[in-house]
């Protein structure tokens, strides 16, 4: 390759696009004298890799993803550029010479990158000409810099990291009494590389076969350093196999032009680590300040925008890094797209790194690499270590992933003939976080028994706010109608065109967050693109402000009484997950839990088993942003698990389960009474459901989908999801006796989450808010559901909360008069007071009967064909008991009117007045007077 001198020339000859590169390696192969198990090492590497994804520097290739393949083989996906400094070496074994100014620019950029790595606790340790890449603008891009870090300094792998020709003596002969100086290893490598390129000569004589000579030379260098101040001036240095051209340059004194450069290289090549500068220190070397001034590296502009929360702190030393770059029209659909997103779409378009590399036969073509014996310097100067061939474990060959097919797919998805997706906003329209309204207008005639899936055509509880956002997209374009509405969620998630549009929509919305929060929630009700899930969840939950400072403000190290339990639970929490099973994952989860306890000490919240599971979705989605994971958890719990983590949480849980039981009776009386009869109560199975919002019973992949809906739903949605789960398994449950129910949870893998959500929403739509009212539920008050304004009048007897023991015993729920009035066209009110009382005043169109005569009149009641059945009694009578009888007789949607007839007399403003007609029709065939019906309208 020709020598290049200027940036312009470099720019001219390269393609415009970026590439994704992959290389592959295996963790330790289980060599006997190592105490690291391969699978464990793999998991550790997997966990450490995550931090590499957060590194962002103009002179570093971005790490994109790590993938575990068969036999624990790891595949690392990263930003790749086709050109690298190694090309300078390819002309007949010689290195191409280059001018000082080019080298100065490169040295500066490389040191910038190395200093940035050091700040993040990372040493490259693997620097070589072929992994110093440069992009189309000639900007240096270091690759492979994370291998040493992710393998814990090479401990987790059985191949050497680093190229001996570029490593300093201390990297080969680790001195027992000297800790390895971070970053300085790379300074040596840089010195060697620059000296080679300047002189046009390899640093070391000979080739790879002379590796033993190289090692002994490095040994000699290290030994002599102890007795010599300036080793490069000494005579013995000529005997070490260093090329003459290199030594002549290092020892030269004549040429003034290069005097600073020579000093710089000599500074890099200090044999004694304690005298060698760090990358950071070298940045202020005179070499960079002399004639060149501040003209260095004007190209520290950030080159694409990532979606990030506005409140997210961006900490970067380069002020200009996030200056917007001129947005020129570019036809490449991948232009300015974050690499992680490109990779994500690449997978959706059918890509898979392992099969991709297998197709190209990577296992056959693994080149041998130079080997470093693992040696240590021991006191008598002997070397100890292993020299087994471990090259098969590692390939430094980089494969690029073809993005051709992805481009084609996306061009179709964005082109003029693109597939139009209609966001099915109706799907979840009703549910809003403040949706507690009950404005029944009309119901379809679609009849359902309690055991079918109620999908009434119209919403019983429309959200009056749900029209504030129209279904047109944010670009102002009206979404055209299309045929592929309501594709199953799984299909939508796998459709690259659909996801492309969803990610674009949400990326834009996230950029406008928090102003766009309502719109985010609106669109999230349709579905949430998995790629942005972590950030979208945070936006829905309303996380904002300096959440990092919030997280930092809590002490996470204080010992608490629950530490031991946390230590037991953390290593058992979703361990099939690569992130959570890694040691780093354990540390993070532990810190999050400790932080939660510290943050809620004043709320008297404690650690209960299950909190770990509840944390897991947030941690896995925000693995590199603990503070965000914490803030999500912190806003999530008050909404969906309020007081579940009180040290005495039993009143809260007991009430929650009682309401759950009522709901089951309401929607599936047959199943409810069956479970009641066999004694299989919610206390036995449902506590962990609600305490962990189902994360304990479903794998994370299912939990994500469930939570996508829970987050945009009302706080009661989990209750309905619980009912849906039971009803999906009802066929099995209805045949079970108590002892058979132990195997109940084995059926959980069969639960269809999407169906479960649909059914939960359908039930939610037709359930009056008062039925699910809980004393411990945040945001709700018993009789002010209509407009949210609390009533200040003195509480009447029916406004007192039902004692928890009564609530727990009752099989059917209570309903408020307000809700009853809204339902009046669909409800059969069954008045169980005496005939005398009935005739003095009753609910219009209600029937009056003796509650002991249910068997006799059940048929007549069914003939009324109403969707809801409300029992009206008076204080202290048999209402709840009769309601339970109705449930056992499989009447759907049975409830007891709160306050009975008294509430009707007191609250005439509810729009229904007590009827006092006297000429009842008799509903009974045998003419007895035990069944009467108010005859208004008949």
Q: Which residues bind Zn ion (CB under 5 A)?
A: 915, 917, 934, 936
For the CB of residue 936, give the shortest distance to Zn ion in the complex, in Å: 5
What is the nearest approach in angstroms of Zn ion to the Cβ of residue 423?
A: 49
Alpha-carbon distance of 97 to 128, in angstroms, equals 17
Nearer to Zn ion, 678 or 915 (CB): 915
Record the tokens describing residue 590, joined without a space.
Answer: 């532990």
As measured in angstroms, the least distance from the Cβ of 441 to Zn ion is 25
Which DSSP string corresponds to 565-582? Answer: HHHHHGGGSSTTSHHHHS
Tell me how far CA of residue 294 lies from CA of 100, 111, 263, 846, in angstroms. 16, 16, 20, 89
Give the separation between CA 170 and CA 223, rounded to whole angstroms. Answer: 11
DSSP string, 103-116: HHHHHHHHHHHHHH
Residue 934 beta carbon to Zn ion: minimum distance, rounded to whole angstroms: 3
H helix count then E strand count, the chain: 38, 16
Angle subtended at Cα 75 by Cα 70 and Cα 76, rounded to the nearest 5 degrees: 165
Q: Which is nearer to Zn ion, 568 or 917 (CB)?
A: 917
The upper half-sphere exposure of residue 562, i.e. CA atoms within 13 Å in the direction of its Cβ, equals: 23
Nearest approach, Cβ of residue 826 and Zn ion (Å): 18
What CA–CA distance (Å, rounded) separates 372 from 391? 10
Least Å distance between CB 918 and Zn ion?
Answer: 8
Find the length of the chain.
938
DSSP lists the bridge partners of residue 922 as 932
Answer whether 576's CB lies under 8 Å from 553's CB: no
Residue 60 DSSP code: B
CB nearer Zn ion, residue 555 or residue 905: 905
CB of 917 to Zn ion, least distance (A): 4
Q: Which is nearer to Zn ion, 439 or 936 (CB)?
A: 936
The nearer residue to Zn ion, 817 or 934, going by C-beta atoms, is 934
- Which CB atom, from 31 or from 917, has the smaller least distance to Zn ion? 917
Considering the complex, state which of residue 602 and residue 919 has its C-beta at the smaller distance from Zn ion: 919
Parallel/antiparallel/unpaired status of strands 374-377 and 383-386: antiparallel
Residue 245 or 915: the one with the smaller Cβ distance to Zn ion is 915
| Min dist. Cβ of residue 894 to Zn ion (A) | 22
Q: What does DSSP assign to residue 204? A: B
Phi, psi of 697 (to 5 degrees): -105, -20
User: Cα–Cα distance between 184 and 71 in angstroms, integer?
Assistant: 35
Nearer to Zn ion, 155 or 917 (CB): 917
Of the pair 638, 844, the CB lying nearest Zn ion is at 844
Decide if 131 contacts 71 (C-beta within 8 A): no
Closest CA to 709 of 661, 761, 669: 761
Closest CB to Zn ion among 734 and 917?
Answer: 917
Please, which residue, 658 or 847, has the CB nearer to Zn ion? Answer: 847
Smallest separation, CB 845 to Zn ion (Å): 7
- Other Cβ atoms closer than 10 A to 813: 27
CB of 840 to Zn ion, least distance (A): 11
Name the residue nearer to Zn ion (CB basis): 596 or 838: 838
Nearest distance in Å: CB 932, Zn ion:
9
Helices assigned H by DSSP within 123-166: 147-150
Sign of CA dihedral 825, 829, 835, 841: negative
The 3-state DSSP class for residue 399 equals strand
Residue among 303, 21, 14 nearest 135 (CA): 14
Helix, strand, coil percentages in the chain from 3-state DSSP, rounded to 5: 45, 10, 45
Residue 223: count of CB within 10 angstroms of its CB: 15
Closer to Zn ion by Cβ: residue 214 or 934: 934
- Residue 843 C-alpha from the chain's centroid: 52
**Torsion angle defined by CA atoms of residues 234, 236, 240 and 244, in that order, rounded to the nearest 10 degrees:** 60
Angle, helices 717-728/700-712, rounded to nearest 10 degrees: 130
Residues 461, 437 contacting (CB under 8 angstroms): yes
**Shortest CB 916 distance to Zn ion, Å:** 7
- Provide DSSP, 466-516: TTSS-SS-TTSPPPPP-S-TT--HHHHHH-HHHHHHHHHHHHHHHHTTTTT
Distance of CA 603 to the CA centre of its chain: 27
Query: Quick one: 230 exposed, middle or buried, by C-beta within 10 A (0-12, 13-18, 19+)?
Result: exposed
Closer CB to Zn ion, 722 or 900, in the complex: 900
- H or E element at residue 197: helix 184-199
Q: Which is nearer to Zn ion, 801 or 841 (CB)?
A: 841
Annotate 897-915 with DSSP letters as a single string. Answer: ETTHHHHHHH-GGGS---B
Name the minimum Å distance from CB 857 to Zn ion. Answer: 18
Determine the 3-state secondary structure of 564 from DSSP: helix
The residue of the chain with the least Cβ separation from Zn ion equals: 934
* Minimum gap (Å) between residue 915 Cβ and Zn ion: 3
Q: How many angstroms separate the CA atoms of 372 and 600, rounded?
A: 53
Nearer Cβ to Zn ion, position 515 or 936? Answer: 936
Tell me whether residue 22 or residue 934 sits nearer to Zn ion (CB atom).
Answer: 934
Greatest C-alpha distance within the chain: 127
What's the closest the beta carbon of residue 508 comes to Zn ion, in angstroms?
59
At 163 the three-state DSSP class reads coil
Tell the smallest beta-carbon distance from residue 602 to Zn ion (Å): 55
Minimum CB–partner distance for residue 614 and Zn ion (Å):
52
Supply the minimum distance, in Å, between the C-beta of residue 835 and Zn ion: 13
């Amino acid at each position: 390759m020709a020598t290049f001198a200027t940036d312009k020339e470099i720019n001219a000859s390269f393609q415009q696009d970026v590439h994704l590169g992959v290389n592959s390696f295996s963790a330790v192969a289980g060599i006997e004298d190592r105490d690291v198990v391969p699978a464990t090492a793999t998991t550790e590497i997997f966990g450490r890799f995550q931090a590499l994804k957060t590194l962002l520097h103009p002179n570093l290739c971005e790490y994109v993803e790590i993938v575990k393949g068969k036999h624990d083989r790891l595949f690392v996906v990263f930003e790749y550029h086709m050109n690298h400094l190694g090309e300078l070496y390819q002309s007949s074994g010689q290195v191409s010479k280059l001018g000082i100014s080019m080298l100065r620019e490169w040295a500066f950029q490389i040191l910038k990158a190395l200093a940035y790595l050091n700040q993040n606790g990372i040493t490259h340790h693997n620097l070589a000409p072929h992994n110093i890449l440069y992009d189309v603008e000639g900007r240096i891009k270091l690759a492979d810099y994370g291998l040493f870090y992710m393998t814990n300094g090479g401990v987790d792998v059985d191949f050497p990291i680093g190229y001996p020709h570029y490593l300093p003596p201390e990297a080969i002969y680790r001195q027992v009494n000297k800790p390895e100086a971070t970053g300085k290893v790379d300074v040596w490598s840089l010195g060697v590389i620059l000296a080679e390129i300047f002189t046009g000569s390899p640093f070391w004589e000979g080739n790879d076969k002379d590796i033993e000579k190289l090692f002994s030379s490095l040994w000699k260098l290290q030994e002599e350093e102890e007795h010599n101040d300036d080793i490069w001036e000494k005579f013995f240095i000529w005997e070490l196999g260093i090329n003459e051209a290199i030594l002549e340059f290092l020892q030269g004194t004549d040429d003034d032009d290069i005097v600073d450069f020579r000093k710089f290289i000599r500074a890099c090549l200090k044999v004694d680590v304690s005298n060698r500068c760090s990358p950071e220190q070298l940045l202020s070397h005179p070499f960079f300040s002399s004639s060149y001034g501040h003209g260095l590296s004007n190209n520290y502009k950030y080159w694409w925008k990532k979606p990030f929360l506005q409140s997210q702190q961006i900490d970067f030393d380069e002020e200009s890094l996030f200056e917007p770059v001129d947005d020129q029209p570019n036809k490449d659909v991948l232009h300015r797209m974050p690499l992680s997103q490109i990779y994500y779409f690449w997978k959706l378009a059918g890509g898979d790194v392992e099969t991709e590399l297998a197709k190209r036969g990577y296992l056959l073509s693994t080149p041998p690499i130079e080997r470093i014996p693992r040696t240590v310097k021991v006191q008598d100067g002997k070397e100890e270590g292993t020299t087994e061939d471990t090259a098969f474990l590692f390939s430094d060959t980089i494969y690029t992933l073809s993005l051709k097919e992805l481009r084609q797919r996306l061009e179709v998805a964005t082109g003029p003939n693109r597939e139009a997706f209609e966001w099915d906003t109706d799907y979840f329209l009703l549910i809003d976080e403040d949706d507690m309204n009950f404005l029944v207008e009309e119901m379809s005639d679609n009849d359902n028994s309690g055991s079918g899936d109620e999908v009434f055509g119209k919403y019983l509880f429309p959200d009056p706010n749900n029209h504030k956002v129209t279904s047109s997209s944010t670009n102002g374009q009206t979404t055209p109608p299309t045929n592929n509405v309501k594709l199953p969620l799984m299909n939508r998630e796998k459709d690259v065109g659909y996801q492309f549009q969803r990610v674009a929509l949400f990326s834009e919305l996230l950029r406008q967050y928090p102003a766009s929060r309502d719109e985010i929630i609106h669109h999230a009700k349709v579905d949430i693109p998995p790629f942005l899930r972590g950030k979208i969840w945070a936006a829905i939950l309303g996380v904002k402000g300096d959440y990092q400072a919030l997280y930092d403000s809590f002490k996470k190290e204080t010992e608490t009484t629950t530490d031991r339990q946390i230590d037991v639970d953390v290593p058992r929490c979703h361990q099939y997950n690569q992130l959570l099973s890694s040691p780093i994952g354990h540390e993070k989860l532990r810190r999050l839990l400790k932080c939660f306890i510290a943050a809620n000490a004043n709320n008297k919240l404690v650690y209960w088993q299950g909190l770990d599971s509840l944390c897991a979705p947030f941690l896995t989605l925000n693995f590199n942003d603990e503070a965000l994971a914490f803030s999500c958890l912190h806003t999530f719990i008050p909404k969906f698990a309020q007081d579940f983590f009180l040290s005495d949480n039993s009143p809260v849980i007991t009430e929650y389960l009682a309401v759950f039981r009522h709901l089951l009776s309401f929607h599936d009386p047959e199943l409810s009474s069956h479970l009641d009869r066999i004694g299989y109560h919610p206390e036995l199975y449902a506590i962990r459901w609600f305490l962990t919002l189902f994360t304990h019973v479903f794998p994370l992949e299912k939990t994500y989908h469930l939570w996508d809906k829970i987050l945009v739903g009302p706080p009661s949605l989990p209750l309905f999801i619980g009912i849906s789960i039971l009803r999906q398994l009802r066929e099995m449950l209805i045949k079970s006796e108590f002892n058979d129910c132990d195997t109940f949870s084995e059926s959980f893998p069969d639960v269809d989450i999407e169906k479960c959500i649909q059914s939960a929403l359908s039930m939610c739509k037709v359930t009056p808010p008062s039925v699910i009212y809980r004393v411990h539920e945040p945001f709700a008050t018993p009789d002010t559901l209509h407009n949210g304004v609390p009533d200040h009048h003195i509480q009447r007897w029916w406004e007192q909360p039902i004692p928890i023991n009564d609530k727990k015993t009752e099989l059917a729920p209570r309903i408020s008069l307000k809700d009853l009035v809204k339902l009046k066209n669909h409800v059969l009110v069954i008045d169980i007071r005496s005939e005398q009382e009935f005739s003095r005043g009753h609910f219009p169109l209600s029937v009056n009967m003796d509650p002991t005569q249910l068997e006799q009149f059940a048929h007549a009641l069914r003939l009324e064909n109403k969707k809801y059945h409300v029992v009206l009694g008076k204080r202290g009578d048999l209402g709840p008991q009769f309601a339970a009888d109705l449930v056992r007789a499989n009447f759907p949607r049975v409830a007891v009117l709160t306050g009975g007839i008294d509430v009707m007399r007191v609250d005439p403003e509810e729009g229904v007045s007590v009827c006092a007609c006297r000429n009842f029709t008799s509903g009974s065939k045998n003419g007895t007077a035990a069944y009467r019906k108010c005859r208004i309208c008949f």
